[in-house]
Amino acid sequence: MKNIILSMATSILFLAACNNETKKTEATSGADSTSITAVDTTLKSQKESPIQNILSAYLQLKNALAKDNDKDAASSGKALETAFADFDKSALPGDKAKLYDDIAADAKEHAEHIGANVGNIKHQREHFETLSQDVYDLVNAFGAGQKLYVDHCPMYNENKGANWISESKEISNPYLGQSMPTCGTVREELN
């Protein structure tokens, strides 16, 4: 009987010790993953472009137009307006702040028109053409923090053509939408 009790006591101590070691390992690995997350967040913020919110709203707008969705395009146009208004240019040097102001003034006006024209996708697309050039200029001036593609549709505007910026190499045409979704070519890669 003593042997059974002694064996049980030893087993309980052994299991308790093993369980304690597991908790230490979990705590250590939890700390490691927190450190890794902090490093990932730091690296991400170093790579992120100051115009990231503007670019994100623009890409949502582009995708809405590619799907012929004037309501989502209008919503994205309003989000783009907000992104321009919320942009903090206080950290920019004087020449970059002036460049931003010049581009943003025009781009905000086009975003406003897109946001105000639910039901008139043709008009939204007209403003998107000039807006795309403004966003291209911003990306060239401030960087994108991600790989982007400059795509070209040769058939838009009575075969005059137009460019847009995309987050994907796959063509998804915002000018012709679902009538010709893959019309276009990649003209340039922006890094």
Contact 118, 74 (CB under 8 A): yes
Report how far Cα 163 is from the mean position of its chain's Cα atoms.
19
Using CB atoms within 10 Å of the CB of residue 181, give its burial: 0 to 12 exposed, 13 to 18 middle, 19+ buried.
middle
Q: How many CB atoms lie within 10 A of CB 135?
A: 28
pLDDT confidence of residue 91: 85
Residue 120 main-chain phi, psi, to 5 deg: -130, 70
Predicted structure pTM score: 0.75
pLDDT reported for residue 102: 95
Spans of the chain, pLDDT less than 70:
1-48
81 vs 21: CA distance, rounded Å: 55
pLDDT at residue number 50: 86
